[in-house]
Structure 1
Amino acid sequence: MDCKTEEDIMKLIKEDVWMMDILNTAKTLQLPDWWICAGFVRSKIWDNLHGFEERTRLEDIDVIYFDPANLDESIEKKYEEILKDLRMDIPWSVKNEARMHLKNNIKPYQSCVDAISKFPETATALGVKLNEMDEIILTAPCGVDDAINGIIKPSPHFLNSRGAIEIFEARLLQKNWKQKWHMLQIKETYQK
């Protein structure tokens, strides 16, 4: 499938039985402002871009939610255990974005979409979930062009953060995305 728009991304996910099962499983938690984000969406787009028949293995499935009323990290671990009981084959990671500003030493996020907009790379700043009608909703606060075109560059917010370039470059080394997806383009110059 030639993926060029947000609608194409949602169709790609809708046609993927495994991804839909993951989304339906996460939805059972009924978390406030929940999303599955980052590599779950990005890797699907990049696999499609490269014409891969087999899914690239994910280190984790990032489920995020926003609950400022309960910032206890142990609750996140309980949600992970519930998800593992439902699908033990999935490497679940659950985080309350209302708490993550404490870990990252930044201003509090206002919502999960706000948090996603501040992810390190534009191609990673993506999230999906199912609405009440089980329709896919996609959020892409930095747009989808970079993900669709295989471009890796810092998100605008991240680029303006202290130490951003060093962190971005360390992530490039650690993630080693070009090893998996050879057509990716890393933007060497960062424009503010």
Structure 2
Amino acid sequence: MDRDLAETVGLLAGDAVVTRTLNLIGEAAPAGAWLVSGALYGAVWNALTGRPAGHGLKDLDIIYFDASDLSWEAEDRAARRLAAAAPLTDPPIELRNQARVHLWYRARFGAGYPRLTSALRSLDYYPATAQALAARLSRTGIELHAPFGCADVLNLRLRPNRRLPNAASYERKAARIATLWPEVGIEPW
């Protein structure tokens, strides 16, 4: 494991919200589920800036991949099962089947989205590189996937990922991050 990845995993392991959520995923989430994005970069930035666990979190994004049923109803059933296992989760859980993102993305964001082959492929299209983190528990501890590496998150930097025309999403996220973690250096789109 490279040094940045190991440091990031260490910071995540020390965050109570992250560890609680990773345990929940292992117990009740659909197979192959991962905790992603804000819970992870937020945990790292909170640790690095001395803020409490959970600062800045509006939800806990959990992704999975099930191409056997692309209906909204199937995704909703999975979300309700997970919510029943953790009825008082704060912040709330947002569970999304990455196999079906291409079906709704254009209507919500105004651009096309590729049909994915795994949940982790979705990270390649997140608006910011520091956002593209996924974690779950394995037999040896926290398994972390970071297609752009961990340097940006460890260096308190937000950089755009231009693989999709996500300027509006990136700018909304950047504005929110600037108020929550003013130490973060934000590159314009």
* Structure 2 length-normalised TM: 0.85
In structure 2, the CA distance between the partners of 1:64 and 1:160, relative to structure 1 (3 Å rule), is closer
In structure 2, the CA distance between the partners of 1:172 and 1:57, relative to structure 1 (3 Å rule), is closer
1:88 pairs with 2:87 = yes
Instruction: Identify the structure with the greater helix proportion.
Output: 2
Unaligned runs of 5+ in 2: 106-111
Task: Tell me the matched-pair count.
Answer: 179
Give the C-alpha shift of residue 134 in structure 1. Answer: 5.9
Partner secondary structure for residue 99 of structure 1: helix
Within 2, Cα distance between the matches of 1:79 and 1:117?
Answer: 24
Within 2, Cα distance between the matches of 1:18 and 1:168?
Answer: 25
Within 1, Cα distance between the matches of 2:78 and 2:131?
Answer: 23
**Could you tell me which of 143, 146, 153 is aligned with 1:147?**
153
For the aligned residue pairs, the C-alpha RMSD in angstroms reads 1.9
Partner secondary structure for residue 98 of structure 1: helix
Residue in 2 aligned with 1:37? 36
Within 2, Cα distance between the matches of 1:8 and 1:44?
Answer: 12
The letter for the 1-side match of 2:40 is V
**Could you tell me which of 135, 142, 145 is aligned with 1:136?**
142
Task: Map 1:27-176 to 2 at 5 A.
Answer: 27-29=26-28, 31-90=30-89, 91-104=92-105, 105-131=112-138, 133=139, 135-155=141-161, 159-162=162-165, 164-173=166-175, 176=176
Give the C-alpha shift of residue 160 in structure 1. Answer: 3.8
* Structure 1 length-normalised TM: 0.84
Within 1, Cα distance between the matches of 2:67 and 2:171?
Answer: 32
Residue in 1 aligned with 2:186? 186
Give the C-alpha shift of residue 53 in structure 1. Answer: 3.6
The letter for the 1-side match of 2:96 is K
